[in-house]
Amino acid sequence: MQIYKVGGAVRDRLLGKPVTDIDWVVVGATTEEMLAKGYRPVGADFPVFLHPKSGEEYALARTERKNGRGYGGFIFHASPDVTLEEDLIRRDLTINAMAEDDQQNLTDPYHGQQDLEARLLRHVSPAFAEDPLRVLRVARFAARYAELGFTVAPETLELMHQLSESGELEALTPERSWKEIARALMEDQPQVFIEVLRECGALKVLMPEIDALFGVPQPEAHHPEIDTGVHTLSVLEQAARHKQPLTVRWACLLHDLGKGLTPEKEWPRHIAHEHKGLKLIKAVNERFKVPKDCQELALLVGKYHTHGHRALELKPSTLLELLQSFDVYRRPQRFEEFIAACEMDARGRKGLEQRSYPQADYLRGAATAARSIAVQPLLEKGFKGPELGEAIKGERLKALKAYKDQA
């Protein structure tokens, strides 16, 4: 049997990027031989094994044919007579379809190295269409390698377009899609992911609520970039630039969905868009079975981001409601993430990226003031149950009034 390094490990070594996990392909072996050598079988779908010591993935060379819709609709053929070239041709991109032996000799039948140099994300063959998840993968790679100047080859974009129109994307499971989305959002230029999805028509299938924001104007005085879609991408870009976690990036992407529902005659104003957007945020959250912390923050940021921007003008009672809604006493981190999302929203405006955001410290100070209330004296006064709750609220309100007066 011959063993080759394949996929991302070869690509990233040639790009001079750090290689984190290594995938291997095994040519000329049978399942029985692998088991005899101590490899552990994984995955019911494909003949993939884990190395007994390193735990890295070793897959038998295989060919794939699609015989149905979605990811389940595969038949594969793995046998010792499948060649390396046959295994490589079923892969997604030419830059991912190179193999290397233990002497670092490259096997590159589909000219991946040439495409690396040309900074092109190009599909290997029509077999690309056999897994619609690849539409998201290409957009993710475009985001990851944008800073190196990579773009999607026109013929690949065309194929992604056809796949998006074919209804195949709807067959993806929420789990597979979310995994790609989450990884893409954590790249340095996540906005490129959304741009590429939009360009190939996948955005209007996967997240029509975001697609709908493009072409929707906002008042130029607050939003010099005008277009709501452009603004959303800038907010996401800022979130990445400021190294925000996934929760914040997800909330940034969804915060203005309500603006897509404003009747044209009301443009460029978007009255109550925060509230109107909530059902859309919920729908997107559910579509991809998004993790709970991301879901929650997106809804809270959607509902309250304007409160964040107006923090310095809020009445103490409104400030208190805001802090209560976030349960800032038990969930301080979530409130920090809200503040971060609001700040990214403010910075994601053309020409205002560097402007300071005093609301952030003001909100932090308000949270500290409300949190500083001592419960013990109220207990000593005999308050209990709902009355105690009301008394605590009253004290917090007093503290917020004092905070606002001295701020």
Feature table: binding site for Mg(2+): 21, 23
Query: Which residues make up each annotated binding site for CTP?
Result: 8, 11, 91, 137, 140
Site stretch for ligand CTP (CB under 6 A), options 79-87, 129-137, 148-156, 205-213: 129-137
Residue showing tokens 């990233």 = 12
The distance of closest approach from Cβ of residue 287 to ligand CTP in the complex, given in angstroms and rounded to an integer, is: 20
Strands (E), 139-256: 151-152
Number of residues that bind ligand CTP (CB under 6 A): 11
Q: Is 47 in the site for ligand CTP (CB under 6 A)?
A: no
Is 92 or 274 the residue whose CB approaches ligand CTP more closely? 92
User: Quick one: DSSP state of residue 7?
Assistant: T
101 neighbors 116 (Cβ within 8 angstroms): no
Q: Give the CB-nearest residue to ligand CTP.
A: 8
386 vs 153: CA distance, rounded Å: 64
Residue 143, both tokens = 């985001």
Binding residue (CB under 6 A) for ligand CTP from 96, 228, 238, 262:
96
- Where in 7-36 is the site for ligand CTP (CB under 6 A)? 7-8, 23
Residue 181, both tokens = 């989305």
Binding residue (CB under 6 A) for ligand CTP from 91, 223, 255, 303:
91
The distance of closest approach from Cβ of residue 293 to ligand CTP in the complex, given in angstroms and rounded to an integer, is: 23
Binding residue (CB under 6 A) for ligand CTP from 123, 134, 198, 347:
134
Is 21 or 81 the residue whose CB approaches ligand CTP more closely? 21
The distance of closest approach from Cβ of residue 95 to ligand CTP in the complex, given in angstroms and rounded to an integer, is: 8
With b for 16 or more beta-carbon neighbours within 10 A and e for fewer, the 345-380 pattern comes to bbbbbeeeeeeebebbebbbbbbebbeebeeeebee
Binding residue (CB under 6 A) for ligand CTP from 25, 29, 99, 133:
133
337 neighbors 247 (Cβ within 8 angstroms): yes
Strands (E), 28-164: 40-42, 48-50, 57-60, 62-66, 74-78, 99-100, 106-107, 120-121, 151-152
The distance of closest approach from Cβ of residue 144 to ligand CTP in the complex, given in angstroms and rounded to an integer, is: 7
Q: Where does residue 221 rank: exposed (0-12), middle (13-18), buried (19+ CB within 10 A)?
A: exposed
Residues that bind ligand CTP (CB under 6 A): 7-8, 23, 91-92, 96-97, 131, 133-134, 137
